[in-house]
Structure formats: C-alpha cells, structure tokens
Amino acid sequence: MAKRYRNAGEITFDVFNYVVLGIIGIAAILPFLFVVAGSFATEAEITKRAVFLIPTTISLDAYRFIFSTDTIVRSIGVSLYVTVIGTAVNLFFTVTMAYPMAKRYLMGRNLILNLVIFTMLFGGGMIPTYLVIRELHLLDTLNALILPGAISAFNLIIVKNFFQELPAEMEEAARIDGCTELGLLWRIVLPLSKPVLATFTLFYAVGHWNNFFSALLYINDPSKWPLQVMLRQIVMLSQSAAGDLSSMDPNFVQPPEQSIKMAVIVVGTLPIMCVYPFLQKHFAKGVMLGSVKG
C-alpha cells in the first residue's frame, strides 16, 4: 500500500507520525532504562551526572548490598509462593465453577449467574471484607492473599461463555462412550480450552505478583510481606532494611541510596519482563475475550 503519496503534506505527516510514535515508544520504557543504568552506578558517577543511560563504570555493589540480608530474598519467596499457589487456586476455582455454569440445562443456573453478576455491581467494601478475613483468622497468613480473590467474577463469566461455545457433539460422543462428567471436563473441555486458560493463567499470575492492596490490608508481619510491600518500604519510606553493612567485607563502601533503590526496583520488575513475551502473545486475546458480552 506504499503507492499512494500524492502530495508533500502526506509525506510530512508520515515522517511526523513515525517520529512521534518512535518517541512515545521509547518514552514507555525509558524510565526503566534509566533505573537499570542507575542501579549499576557508583557514588562518584551519581554526583557527576543526574541521568545517564550507559554508566561509565558498572558496579554491582547495590545488588550485593540488597542481597546481603535475606529481607528481599524472603519477600521474593513470599511473592513467588502467592503467585504460584494463588494462580493454581484461581484456575481451580474458576474452571470448576465455570464448567457447570456453562450447562444450560443445569437447574438453578440462572440464579447462580445472577448471584455472580450482582457481585460485579455491588460489594460489601473494604471494612466488612476485612472483618470477615479477621473472623476467619486469615490475618497475617498468606492465605489472606490467595483466598479472598480466588475467583474474578469477570474472568469466570468469560471462561463460562467459552465453555458454552465448545461444540456439544464432542461431549455427547464422549458421554456415549461412557465418559464421566469429571472425565469430560479433564479430557475434552480443558484440552480444548488451552489458549483461554493460558491467557487467564497469565492474567491471574501478573495480578498476584503486582498485588499490593491485599498485603497492605491483611499482612502486618514484615516477615510475610510480599515484594511489592517491601519495595514501598525501601524506596518510598526510605527504610534501609534492604542491606546490612556489618555483614559485609569491611572494605565495602555503602552504595549510594539512589542506586540501592533502583536496584530494588529492577529486582521487582525483572520477573514481569521475563514473562513479557508470553504476555504479549496472550493478553490482547484476553482483552478481546472480555469485550464479548456475557
């Protein structure tokens, strides 16, 4: 389609458009690049220039410092645990509920569907939910980060709709061959739904990794803080719990505070960047699934 330039105005527009979009694209990731560069900086460099993309000397001191105690490592462990177990719980609850709800002949189906939709419209809110979590003795347990969000009503309805669209003939055939309901779900429906499940696995997993709100609400014990809470403590509240100078080589000079903070940010962002290619592949599909009406 590159054939139809008819005047200088169109060429000017195209040049302008490509440049502007290029700038926007770079602006989207530039802060990260600065942070990554800054995390390798030394005191001397930081006082010399404020921003840079390529540090003249690469120093790993900030990373050595933040990993000198187990504070960060432990919070990464918490985040990983919540992400892995939490996502498994999400998938289990979502699939087991979506499957029966996809059966049009199921008695009580409409009532349940309306119960679910109503929760998208109205909720008890922060305090009543908090009190329920407290009554269940989930405060200060990692289950408080997993169970209260076990199902997203929105995702549930999308998965239900997807199950509903699957060809009924295959199920009929399997049933005639003596397949049980559970066997049907496990052997026929789930394998057919792999792409959708992959999308929701990623959505749920990113949600868990990035979740700050639940931990703020339900976890007081610093040893159970996920990485997001720890990040805020170190970067925004400037609590230098990140490292311990006394445990290090006496010649070790404490790295500049800015570098330490940037190193913590890099550590917090890295896992997302690692799965980003997969996210890219699946997420747009997920958004489009979401726009299909229930």
Q: In the window 44-73, what residues touch other proteins (CB under 8 A)? A: 46, 50-51
Q: Does position 93 bind other proteins by CB under 8 A?
A: yes
Among 82, 91, 145, 151, binds other proteins (CB under 8 A): 151
Asked if 204 and 222 count as a contact pair (C-beta separation under 8 A), the reply is no
What's the chain's length in residues? Answer: 294
Q: In this complex, which beta carbon is closest to other proteins, that of residue 88 or of residue 279?
A: 279
Amino acid at position 170, single letter: M
Alpha-carbon torsion angle 123, 127, 132, 137, nearest 10 = 150
Q: In this complex, which beta carbon is closest to other proteins, that of residue 251 or of residue 291?
A: 291
List, in order, residues 6 or more apart from 144 with CB less than 8 Å away. Answer: 133, 138, 214, 218, 219
Asked if 158 and 290 count as a contact pair (C-beta separation under 8 A), the reply is yes
Of 237, 254, 210, nearest in space to 62 by CA: 254
List, in order, residues 6 or more apart from 104 with CB less than 8 Å away. Answer: 164
Asked if 73 and 225 count as a contact pair (C-beta separation under 8 A), the reply is no
Among 8, 54, 107, 274, binds other proteins (CB under 8 A): 107
CB of 10 to other proteins, least distance (A): 6
Site for other proteins in 233-272 (CB under 8 A): 235-236, 256-258, 261-262, 264-265, 268-269, 272
Of 88, 59, 24, 80, nearest in space to 268 by CA: 80
Q: In this complex, which beta carbon is closest to other proteins, that of residue 57 or of residue 107?
A: 107
Q: Does position 101 bind other proteins by CB under 8 A?
A: yes
Q: Does position 217 bind other proteins by CB under 8 A?
A: yes
Among 59, 231, 242, 243, binds other proteins (CB under 8 A): 231
Binding pattern to other proteins, positions 113-132, x when CB under 8 A?
--xxx-x-xxxxxxxxxxxx
- Rounded to whole angstroms, how far apart are CA atoms 27 and 101? 44
Site for other proteins in 19-38 (CB under 8 A): 20-22, 24-29, 31-32, 34-35, 38
Q: Does position 282 bind other proteins by CB under 8 A?
A: no
